[in-house]
Amino acid sequence: MIRLYDYWRSSSSYRVRIGLNLLGLAYERVQVDLGTNEQAAVENLARNPQGIVPTLEIDSHQLTQSLAILEYLDEVYAAGWLPDPALARARVRALAMAVAMEIQPVCNLRVAQEAVAASGGTHALEGWMRDHIGPGLAAVEKMLDHPQTGRFCHGNTVSLADICLLPQVYNARRWGVDMAPLPRIRAVEKAMLALDAVQAAHPDTLAP
Amino acid sequence: MIRLYDYWRSSSSYRVRIGLNLLGLAYERVQVDLGTNEQAAVENLARNPQGIVPTLEIDSHQLTQSLAILEYLDEVYAAGWLPDPALARARVRALAMAVAMEIQPVCNLRVAQEAVAASGGTHALEGWMRDHIGPGLAAVEKMLDHPQTGRFCHGNTVSLADICLLPQVYNARRWGVDMAPLPRIRAVEKAMLALDAVQAAHPDTLAP
């Protein structure tokens, strides 16, 4: 029995849903409503001391941190999301982290709202998001200008990098980031959205 | 020939220095001065499209993203920073990422300064740092309340979690975070600082 505690619009939750779906694993979804601050409730803190989502219940354990969860799934189910040799894995992990460490945490809704609140209204939420997502994705676009980029970020099969990139592109579109200067990223987005397993993980299909 | 492009005070650079030193690898340090914005210079962008540090030149490649670099070193040099079995690795990676994804990116000096500038002076830099580092480390402290915590974050040998945690503790002290309620983290700090390899990576020994 696999149970995923997530939120439909959380991009780190979206990453884990993509992973589970790609592996064809059956799981129960339990929504932790970030809109009503359920992530800070005692029940969620007991399973996730950071008070965030996602948490994956699997193999009698509760795993946190989306990338740690995806590395676990890759190892246990031989998903193939981390290619050989070690240098290729380093490239894929760097791409994944260029999204997961440099863009997403700063555009986490809580952090962005704090920065906007601190500005007393002179900074709009859309501005903060665009100022950080746009340059962040531009750097990823440059990293994809590389001989090993294929239909996906690394070659022609899905890797950890694609699983992180797609949810960030969803957020970029949500906040009106100009995607025109990012053709390589748009190509990966298209290749990912063509997969049924990815479509089934999409936030819009899960919106309450 | 291994070359590390880093900055003495950057905590992600500090992570990679700890890793290289623990492995006893000889390397040349080239400072990219974040104080004069050298990270945004053409030379640095050519090796690091995100315009950040660190970058590691090794095996004729330029690797970016500190955690991807550390995973590479762990794989190629069998460092033992990711314990068996897969569930233990998931725990270690979750701890490392609780620091590297949830605390460090938000307290990146550039992001913090933007938030402070946006506030028109009502938010002080120290306040932003403490508001984010304090609760972030408190969550890590809770994650360390676990039977597998030993002298280090996981058992009695250094793991990826310790390598990420120590530089964050350095930053916490720099910004005046109250470390009294964090005894497990202080114990790991002490165990790490007792190692010569870790001492040699310390920012204070490299300050210009």
Q: Do residues A103 and A184 both lie within one domain?
A: yes
Residue A90 has pLDDT above 90, yes or no: yes
Of A86, A106, A115, the CB nearest to B72: A86
In angstroms, rounded to a whole number, what is the distance separating the alpha carbons of residues B110 and B106? 9
Alpha-carbon separation of residue B53 from A47, B48, B102 (angstroms): 34, 8, 18
CB contact under 8 A, A101 and B102: no
Helices and strands (H and E) in chain B: how many: 11, 4
pLDDT at A105: 86
The confidence band for A120, taking pLDDT boundaries of 50, 70 and 90, is confident
Higher pLDDT, B125 or B30: B30
The answer on pLDDT for A13 being more than 90 is yes
- Regarding whether A157 and A66 lie in a shared domain, the answer is no
| Whether residue B182 sits in one domain with residue B131 | yes
Residue A171: predicted pLDDT: 94
CB contact under 8 A, B119 and A114: no
- Dihedral over Cα of B160, A135, A143, A192: its sign: positive
**In the β-sheet with A61-64, what is the strand arrangement from edge to edge?**
A28-31, A3-6, A55-58, A61-64
Closest CA to A158 of A19, A16, A3, A6: A19
Mean pLDDT of A39-45: 95
Same domain, B13 and B99: no
Tokens 């070690």 map to which residue? A86
In a domain, residue B204? The reply is no
**ipTM of the complex as predicted:** 0.96
Any domain includes B30 = yes
The predicted structure's pLDDT at residue B106: 84
* Residue A207 domain flag: no
* Domain shared by A93 and A120, yes or no: yes
Residue B94: per-residue pLDDT? 98
* Whether residue A52 is found in the same domain as residue A106: no
Whether residue A125 lies inside any domain: the answer is yes
Rounded Cα distance between A127 and B110, Å, is 16
In a domain, B203, yes or no: no
pLDDT in tens, B35-55: 899 999 999 999 999 999 999
Alpha-carbon distance of B27 to A193, in angstroms, equals 43
Domain count, chain A: 2
What pLDDT was estimated at residue B90? Answer: 98
Q: A155: which DSSP letter?
A: B
Q: What is the mean pLDDT of residues B177-186?
A: 97
In a domain, A206, yes or no: no
| R_g over Cα of chain B | 17
**In the predicted model, is pLDDT for residue A160 greater than 90?**
yes
Tell which residue, A119, A195, A128, A122, has the closest CA to residue A158: A195
Please name the amino acid found at residue B141: E
**pLDDT in the model for residue B5:** 98
CATH code of the domain containing A95: 1.20.1050.10
Candidates A66, A119, A184, partner chain B, best to mutate (most B CBs within 10 A): A119
Write the pLDDT tens digit of every residue in A94-114: 999 999 998 988 888 778 888
Q: For residue A205, is it within any domain?
A: no
Calpha distance A27→A139 (Å, rounded): 35
Same domain, A60 and A134: no
In a domain, A33, yes or no: yes
Is the separation of the CB atoms in A168 and A152 below 8 Å?
no
Same domain, B90 and B185: yes
**CA distances (Å), origin B8, targets A117, B35, B174:** 33, 11, 14
Question: Rounded distance, CA B94 to CA A128, Å?
Answer: 27
Q: Do A187 and A117 share a domain, yes or no?
A: yes
Mean pLDDT of A42-53: 96
Per-residue pLDDT tens for B116-170? 887 776 678 888 888 889 999 999 999 999 999 999 999 999 999 999 999 999 9
Q: Are residues A133 and A154 in the same domain?
A: yes
pLDDT at A33 over 80: yes
For the stretch A190-208, pLDDT in tens is 999 999 999 999 999 998 8
pLDDT of A2: 98
Nearest chain B Cα distance for residue A26, angstroms:
20
pLDDT band at A14 (very low <50, low <70, confident <90, very high): very high
* A49:B143 CB<8 A: yes
Residue B112, pLDDT > 90, answer no
The whole-chain average pLDDT of chain B stands at 94
The residue among A78, A105, A139 that closes a domain is A78
- Residue whose structure tokens are 């440059």: A142
* pLDDT at res. B126: 86
In this structure, are residues B102 and B139 in contact, taking their beta carbons and an 8 Å threshold? yes
Report DSSP state, residue A84.
Answer: S
Tokens at residue A208, please? Answer: 């309450």
Residues B110 and B182 in one domain: yes
CATH of the domain at A25: 3.40.30.10
Q: Domain containing A51: what range?
A: 3-78
pLDDT above 80 (res A118): no
**Which of B30, B50, B79 delimits the end of a domain?**
B79
**Whole-number pLDDT of residue B42:** 96
> B44, B64, B79: which is the final residue of a domain?
B79
Distance from CA of B4 to the nearest CA of A (A): 16
Domain match, B100 and B189 both: yes
Q: Report pLDDT for A117.
A: 81
Q: Do B75 and A86 touch (CB under 8 A)?
A: yes
Gap between the Cα atoms of B33 and B154, Å rounded:
34
B105-109, B171-175, B182-186: range with lowest mean pLDDT: B105-109
Rounded Cα distance between B10 and B126, Å, is 17
Alpha helices in chain A (DSSP H): 11-22, 42-47, 66-77, 86-100, 104-107, 109-118, 125-143, 160-174, 183-193, 196-199, 203-206
Instruction: Work out how many CB contacts closer than 8 A connect A with B.
Output: 128
